[in-house]
Structure 1
């Protein structure tokens, strides 16, 4: 399996985990929210918004362009802090999907 194929599979897993955790349906952030210079746009978006509208969109754009993934990546540890209040059954699939994404980017 190519790196792009592995990433697309991990992205599908993240989407499924977000849907199962009821965090997929997010309001589209205002255009200025995307201008944030903070990691994960923490000052302008919720983590689920960032995952859906920034991370997944940028990863898909990199795949479509045939461009290398950025590395190093450590999204999962940051998400663990944000999601610590979520029930384990909803939190773990999200973290595991993000760990796969981190692993693919870090192997680049």
Structure 2
């Protein structure tokens, strides 16, 4: 599996986890000025869910569609743990696992091995 195929799988898992936890549908589109943030994860203008849905996923998919190089480093899951700590475990854990997959694909070029039951 290529890095792009692995990333597509990881992003699909992330979207599915967000939908299952009702974090996809509940995100309102940020105002155009919200996209001008210089803070990591646009923390000063968006919720994590908004950033994932309207910034991270579209940007990574855009890079793949245009055959552009992917970022070589990522630490999204670690940061997301802080932002998601107040969410129910059943919502938080699948999203964090999907983000760990995204991180691993960007850093190592492949998905993490799946554990039984996943």
Q: Shorter-chain TM-score: which interval?
A: over 0.9
Cα separation, 2, equivalents of 1:20 and 1:64: 26
Cα separation, 2, equivalents of 1:90 and 1:5: 25
Q: TM-score, normalised by structure 1?
A: 0.97
SS of the residue corresponding to residue 78 of structure 1 reads helix
Structure 1 partner of 2:37: 36
Q: Which has the higher helix share?
A: 1
Q: TM-score, normalised by structure 2?
A: 0.89
Structure 2 partner of 1:13: 13
Cα separation, 1, equivalents of 2:33 and 2:54: 13
Q: How many equivalent residue pairs?
A: 108
Cα separation, 2, equivalents of 1:32 and 1:53: 13
Q: Which runs of 4+ in 1 moved over 4 A?
A: none
Structure 1 partner of 2:82: 81
Alpha-carbon RMSD across the aligned residues, in angstroms, is 0.8
Q: Which runs of 5+ in 1 are unaligned?
A: none
